[in-house]
Amino acid sequence: MTRLLLLAWLVIAAPAMAQPTKATADIITRVTHGYASSNGVRIHYAALGDARKPLMVMIHGFPDFWYTWRHQMAALSGDYYTVAIDQRGYNLSDKPDGVANYAMPLLVNDVVAVIKSLGREKAIVVGHDWGGAVAWSVAMAQPEVVEQLIILNLPHLRALRRELVNNPQQAANSQYARNFQQANAAQALTAEGLAGWVTDTSARARYVTAFKQSSMEGMLNYYKANYPREPYTLDTTPLVKVKAPVLMIHGLTDRYLLAAGLNGTWEFVDNSVTIVTVPNAGHFVQHEATDIVTRTMRMWLRR
């Protein structure tokens, strides 16, 4: 298959936070809620749009919940059936105990369970941070369910391991992950502290509520079960290339996942790869550059 690389460099300044539209402001009252069973673990999702239209499943990262996608849901639900999940351990989804219950194959199954519960065979899969890691993994493990793949601020997992091995700055900036892997790390977390990154004061209250009904241990089990541990080594397992076309959007001021991890992404994908970088946005690019992210998604999906 011919592989096409499109590098799109956005040189316009991203706004700190787009003002919420009326559609976004009342999204809580507009979404419908549902649950999918993933081998007995209930996965909550919020849905907006016409269920007959193409399905878009959106996966949040840490620390977050389905509401992170509110701007994109409000803007894209006219053309897509937008479904944002709470990952296991978070908000209204089940919170199983034990590190083993957060291993990547189970997180992949959660996403597939949501897609199947909606009566669909495939979806556009969108992920940010840990949601991006899960989205990459779904595309590799269950390629038949991923029509198109959109990743926000999360390098391909092999590229992240490469950077941890070869890039001292990435290794240093991943100290937070090593901290989270410690046995008692969850004791230092509070709902208010985890919501500190949310600049929209009205949204922050919803985040605090969501985190209070989340599992702090469950959140950190993503790191304990899946994040590489020292001494860092390259991934030498057989490479499974992503079959779906890929859009990556990366805020360049991300201190946690450095942009060098984007290099060579095309080596892991057997389809087109489009990389869009946003100079003045950080890790939570879907919040910090809402309009750019939404417009880019819309244009790429319509290409």
Residue 303 is predicted with a pLDDT of 87
35 is catalytic: no
Contact yes or no for 157/134 (Cβ under 8 A)? no
Domains of the chain with CATH codes: 5-301 (3.40.50.1820)
129 is catalytic: yes
Task: Identify the residue whose tokens are 């993503």.
Answer: 222
Averaged confidence pLDDT in the chain: 93
Which secondary structure element, helix H or strand E, spans residue 29, and what is its range?
helix 27-30
Active-site residue among 102, 129, 227, 250? 129
Active-site residue among 223, 227, 250, 287? 223
List the 146-152 sheet strands across, edge first. 5-9, 273-278, 246-251, 146-152, 123-128, 55-59, 81-85, 41-48, 32-38
Active-site residue among 44, 128, 283, 287? 283
pLDDT in tens, 181-221: 999 999 999 999 999 999 999 899 999 999 999 999 999 99
The per-residue DSSP string of 167-221 comes to -HHHHHHTHHHHHHTSTTGGGG--HHHHGGG---HHHHHHHHHHHHTS-HHHHHH
Contact yes or no for 280/6 (Cβ under 8 A)? no
Instruction: Give the chain's residues under pLDDT 50.
Output: 1-19
283 is catalytic: yes
Q: Which two tokens stand for residue 27?
A: 């999204």
Residue 16 is predicted with a pLDDT of 39
Ramachandran region of residue 279, left (φ > 0), alpha (ψ -120 to 50) or beta? Answer: alpha
Residue 7 is predicted with a pLDDT of 41
Contact yes or no for 128/61 (Cβ under 8 A)? yes
Residue 26 is predicted with a pLDDT of 80
Contact yes or no for 22/30 (Cβ under 8 A)? no
